[in-house]
Structure 1
Amino acid sequence: MASQERVETVTKGTGFWRCPKPATYTPGTCELLRVMLKESKLTDFQQRHIMDTMKRGKEKRRLQNIFKAPPVRQEGPAPELDRCEELVKEIQERKEFLADMEALGQRRQYRGIILTEISQKLQEMEDLDHKRSEELRKALATT
């Protein structure tokens, strides 16, 4: 009669033994396994492998608990940065980039691109200024 042993299948063609997923153990089970390992006739390497698997299971649970924690909510809305200030920073970054490229001997390759980007930022600043001035005029006219 056929044996009732559980047999795991191995994917053909890999040539490697596949390790099952590490099991999770309770602290009591871990202690029992440690005692059994001491009494077993496993090599040091085999015992270390089993212990490392148990440690990975504990570490996995610890990390899962960290990531399951709800995110901390901010008090009130984040302050909005002024778009003009952002544009000034972006223009400064582009100037610094162009200076870096000049130091590397690449200024001619990037000069046109960067100056166009700076021009676009300046145009956006002018449009924003015009819009703000118009809003201010309307606000003053209604009072």
Structure 2
Amino acid sequence: MASRERVEAVTKGTGFWRCSKPATYTPGTCKLLRVMMKESKLTNFQQRHIMDTMKRDLEKEKRRLQNIFATGKDPEERKRKPPPVRQEDPAPELDRFEELVKEIQDRKEFLADMEALGQGRQYRGIILAEISQKLREMEDIDHKRSEELRKALATP
């Protein structure tokens, strides 16, 4: 007869037991749980927490069932559509040649700052090597652009 009595739902996350899905208990089982909690010497706070969670879960289940009876659908079944993804305008690509000019300027400023602090000798070789690499890359870009321009002018 206990299976025909009202069933209360207890969900996971009470802090003491972790289950993969909510367990259902009859009122008799709930009384047994209370006795077991007292025997396990849980504090009053822990016992209250478990009972409050059981009550809140029961209220949540009531609201869910009311929605099912009213609308014919389980509210959890309705899934929200994700917000539309904003399509941002791509930032204008910086010209690599201009980037290199800025990087060289930064390196020169860094070297000047280090020399002002008396550390110029330590960084001078490294910074000059970096600047020369950037200059070579700029020469390659200039050479490619010149070839493209020649080809464009050569074709009528």
The alignment's TM-score, normalised by the length of structure 1, stands at 0.51
Tell me how far apart the structure 2 counterparts of residues 82 and 125 of structure 1 sit (CA, whole Å). 11
Structure 2 residue aligned with 1:115: 128
Instruction: Establish whether residue 131 from structure 1 lines up as the match of residue 144 from structure 2.
Output: yes
Q: How does 1:24-103 map to 2 (within 5 A)?
A: 72-75=86-89, 77-103=90-116
In the superposition, relative to structure 1, how do residues 108 and 69 fare at CA in structure 2: closer, same or farther (>3 Å)?
A: farther
Q: Which of 1 and 2 has higher RCO (CA within 8 Å, sep 6+)?
A: 1
Aligned length: 87
Tell me how far apart the structure 2 counterparts of residues 139 and 4 of structure 1 sit (CA, whole Å). 89
Q: Provide the alpha-carbon RMSD of the alignment.
A: 3.3
Residue type of the alignment partner of 1:123? R
Query: Partner of 2:136: helix, strand, or coil?
Result: helix
* Structure 2 alignment gaps of length 5 or more: 1-31, 43-52, 57-81
Higher Cα Rg: structure 1 or 2? 2
Structure 1 residue aligned with 2:7: none
Residue type of the alignment partner of 1:117? E
In the superposition, relative to structure 1, how do residues 104 and 73 fare at CA in structure 2: closer, same or farther (>3 Å)?
A: same
Query: Partner of 2:37: helix, strand, or coil?
Result: coil
Residue type of the alignment partner of 1:82? D
In the superposition, relative to structure 1, how do residues 114 and 71 fare at CA in structure 2: closer, same or farther (>3 Å)?
A: farther
